Amino acid sequence: MREGITNSYADWLVDLANEDLSGEALRNLLATRISSVEEIEQAAKEVEISRRVRLFMISLQQAEIEVPADFEAKLMARVSEDTTLLNLLDIYLSGFGRTLLELITALLSFIPEKQVSEQTV
């Protein structure tokens, strides 16, 4: 197959592969945009290939793919791990926040009351 000849028409050819046009009708339509007879033949050939491969690919939809047997068990273990981690993070953050507040309060208590009221004013 001569690559590159129809690259500039690739998106059009993909659209044509979705339709039913073939034979002379397809070639006539291709001739509206492609002047060279050789390129029209190449494009027509590519449309047919594209259409055929598409049908092959669609047959893959019917192939059922087995989900691993322990998929759900593994997933739920990960979910539980995730929940535990989030809870720990939550506890850690609330603990950290509380400690931070206590530290600020303790630091403020070292500052003389007058200075604190001056600063706030």
Binding residues for another protein, rule: CB under 8 A, are 1, 7, 10-11, 13-15, 17, 46, 49-50, 52-68, 71-72, 74-76, 78-79, 82-83, 86
**Residue number, 63 or 121, with CB nearest to another protein:** 63
Q: In the complex, what is the shortest distance from the CB of residue 52 to another protein, in angstroms, rounded to a whole number?
A: 7
Contact 116/108 with Cβ under 8 angstroms? yes
The distance of closest approach from Cβ of residue 38 to another protein in the complex, given in angstroms and rounded to an integer, is 17
Q: Closest by alpha carbon to 43, among 12, 87, 72? A: 12
Question: Judged by CB, which is closer to another protein: 11, or 118?
Answer: 11
- From the list 34, 45, 48, the residue with the least C-alpha distance to 3 is 45
Cβ neighbours around 22 below 10 Å, total: 13
Rounded CA separation 16/26 (Å): 8
Compare residues 83 and 99 and give the one whose CB is closer to another protein. Answer: 83
Pick 66 or 113: Cβ nearer another protein: 66
Residue 106 and residue 1: Cα distance in Å, rounded?
81
Q: Taking the complex as a whole, how short is the minimal distance between the CB of residue 78 and another protein, in angstroms?
A: 6
| Shortest CB 110 distance to another protein, Å | 42
CA distance 40 to 43: 5
